[in-house]
Amino acid sequence: MLFFTQCFGAVLDLIHLRFQHYKAKRVFSAAGQLVCVVNPTHSLKYAPTLCAAVQASTDQGIPPCHHHEAVHDPQLVPCMCPLFSCPWEGHLEVVVSHLRQTHHINILQGAEIVFLATDMHLPAPTDWIIMHSCLGHQFLLVLRKQEKYEGHPQFFATMMLIGTPTQADNFTYRLELNRNQRRLKWEATPRSVLERVDSVISDGDCLVLNTSLAQLFSDNGSLAIGIAITTSKVLNSEAEM
């Protein structure tokens, strides 16, 4: 009976792994560029104990999900994944493992990748998230569909360094949309995750698309965003303007 229970557990684990693989890791290479298919996560801002639930199901060396207290250590990063309810806070060093292990956010390698967000039609709030390992650091790309103004959903895309603001200043990231003889490029210095993704998006200091632009750049409900990260230099033509 014990043997049967263990076998059943192992089968469940396999199904679970297979599902995660499908959800988060449909990665393939097209025309020499790494394309990562990113499925949406409906933002569950007010779901109370999701982090705990996820954690319970993946009980293997995960940083502890300790509940919100009045902590004011500026080096503590709140969980910036779409599971807004996640009460986890932790130091920078363990953010990557928290995101990978607790929230199953995939991590990709390479200086240039294509982030293919599926199901752009889903109602706000929805997030598409991936981690990107490049130039010796980890970055977090967040695409968020949100209604800042009721009935007027917008898409916000930003890249953040899982590191300090000083480290972030050494990089420049570029997001590029290219379709239907239109091209939109956003270049900026990444912000640090210590500055919190919610602030960056509410400040509007990121690539912003309204629904009609998002539709122009989408293909069959999926939006391809080309991502490139370089070490920073003063943007060339700034002086010229």
The residue from 18, 45, 66, 182 that contacts a second copy (CB under 8 A) is 182
Taking CB under 8 A as the binding criterion, the range among 25-33, 53-61, 120-128, 131-139 that sits at the site for a second copy is 25-33
178 binding a second copy? (CB under 8 A): yes
Q: Is the peptide bond before 125 cis (omega within 30 degrees of 0)?
A: yes
* CA gap 79, 87 in Å, rounded: 7
59 binding a second copy? (CB under 8 A): no
Three-state SS at 10:
helix
Eight-state DSSP code of residue 67: P
The residue from 6, 29, 33, 222 that contacts a second copy (CB under 8 A) is 33
Taking CB under 8 A as the binding criterion, the range among 20-28, 64-72, 121-129, 197-205 that sits at the site for a second copy is 197-205
Residues 200-219 that bind a second copy (CB under 8 A): 203-205, 207-213, 216
* CA gap 44, 41 in Å, rounded: 9
111 binding a second copy? (CB under 8 A): no
Integer-rounded Cα Rg, in Å, for the chain is: 19
Taking CB under 8 A as the binding criterion, the range among 28-36, 38-46, 63-71, 131-139 that sits at the site for a second copy is 28-36
Give the DSSP H/E element, type plus range, for residue 188.
strand 182-188
Eight-state DSSP code of residue 111: S
The residue from 165, 167, 184, 230 that contacts a second copy (CB under 8 A) is 184
Question: Nearest to residue 66, comparing CAs of 48, 86, 43?
Answer: 86
> Using an 8 Å Cβ cutoff, are 80 and 59 in contact?
no
Query: Residue numbers of the site for a second copy (CB under 8 A)?
Result: 31-33, 114, 149, 151-152, 154, 172, 176, 178-179, 181-189, 203-205, 207-213, 216, 224, 226, 234-235, 237-241
